[in-house]
Amino acid sequence: MAFHLALNLNVFVGSSLIRAYAGLSEEEALGRAFADISMKDVTSWNALVSSYMELGRVVDAQTTFDQMPQRNIISWTTLVNGYVKNKQVNKARSVFDKMSERNVVSWTAMISGYVQNKRFIDALRLFLLMFKTETRPNHFTFSSVLDACAGCSSLIMGMQVHPCIIKSGIPNDVIWLTSLVDMYAKCGDMDAAFCVFESIRNKNLVSWNAIIGGYASHGLAARALEEFDRMKIVGTTPDEVTFVNVLLACVHAGLVDEGEKHFTAMLTKYGMQAEMEHYSCMVDLYGRAGRFDEAEKLIKNMPFEPDVVLWGALLAACGLHSNLELGEYAAERIRKLESNHPVCYSMLSKIQGEKGIWSSVNELRDNMNERGIKKQKAISWVE
């Protein structure tokens, strides 16, 4: 429990204390710190609202906001941001709509909130509303809008936003340029993505991850690995996201030895802890190559329990090579995690059909009908 001595605090010290206690999750202490501020102003009230939101106490935050003797645009934006962080985006929009005035920060907060909650179309609609006002977007706004375009694969919208950024006079910035790379990559225009990427003078790790991930996701393994090598040459140290992208590239190209090399380098040379995504990629890589012994060994030596995605990658590989025994085991593990997962039943039915075990196929389909599970089209487990 944090120690707090009751004092007549000034606004600056008191507000700082409130935020510090919030960072320590000391709920009672931050309330006492607020009470001890001798002359409370809008800054101290905002600090209390923000702190309650940070701790997930949205009701207390709203109550505090309602009790504020005066509010400014920061107060409203703080409440919007708080609801967004607590994944109550509809409530955030309700607060946003009640604002009597808005600035670029409040508009960007709401647009970014939609993006964070994967409501990309809503983000783009709100941006179009903003564009009809006198408030001009900044590079953070444009970055969020580009992320929305990437999220819903709206290349046309992204291509319209691009010249808007240029016309706005915003100087080239690694943040929005990287978002532009990511947008073009996720919308399938890798030539445009690479062109923008090359225009970034001071490329950072996120920029490199965007271009490597773009090439990897489109099956352009050679280009992805070329950019990875170039990234290391210029002295940028890869992170866990980089290695997910590199391993995905190896999966698409069937480069088992190359994938093993990078997986080992991640653990030994760079001292990183492999996460579920890395293991899923390696299982997918081994499985597609029919190297099930190595896939099983990797799964057994994992420091945590496999998830649905990893078992799904193994099941998909079993379907590719008609490995019924291991496929049934992987399917059973998936059913324990998600009892009604449709792909699990569909893939197992496929393997049994290829083996000519029609009694099992019919039994499985009857089971699916009883549970109301519909057959699902093929998907990629890892991606």
Mean pLDDT of the chain: 86
Buried b (16+ CB within 10 A) or exposed e, 122-140: bbbebbeebeeeebebbbb
Tens digit of each residue's pLDDT (9 = 90 or more) over 191-210: 999 999 999 999 999 999 99
| Cα separation values, 292 from 6, 296, 313, 330, 383, Å | 65, 6, 12, 12, 20
Any idea what DSSP says for residue 234?
Answer: T
pLDDT (0 to 100) of residue 15? 75
Tens digit of each residue's pLDDT (9 = 90 or more) over 313-371: 998 898 888 887 888 788 888 878 775 555 555 555 555 445 444 333 344 344 444 44
How far apart CA 33 and CA 196 sit, in angstroms, is 49
How far apart CA 38 and CA 8 sit, in angstroms, is 5
Number of domains in the chain: 2
Identify whether 40 is part of a domain: yes
Identify whether 201 is part of a domain: no
Does residue 101 or residue 355 have the better pLDDT? Answer: 101
- Please report, as a single letter, which amino acid is at residue 374: K
Tens digit of each residue's pLDDT (9 = 90 or more) over 240-284: 999 999 999 999 999 999 999 999 999 999 999 999 999 999 999
Asked if the model's pLDDT at residue 77 lies above 80, the reply is yes
pLDDT (0 to 100) of residue 133? 94
Contact 185, 213 (CB under 8 A): yes
| Residue-number span of the structural domain to which 311 is assigned | 300-383
The domain boundary, picked from 45, 72, 101, lies at 101
Residues 6 or more apart whose CB falls under 8 angstroms from that of 382 comprise 248, 251, 277, 280, 281, 284, 309, 313
The domain boundary, picked from 77, 101, 125, lies at 101
Question: What integer is the mean pLDDT of 287-301?
Answer: 95
pLDDT (0 to 100) of residue 16? 80
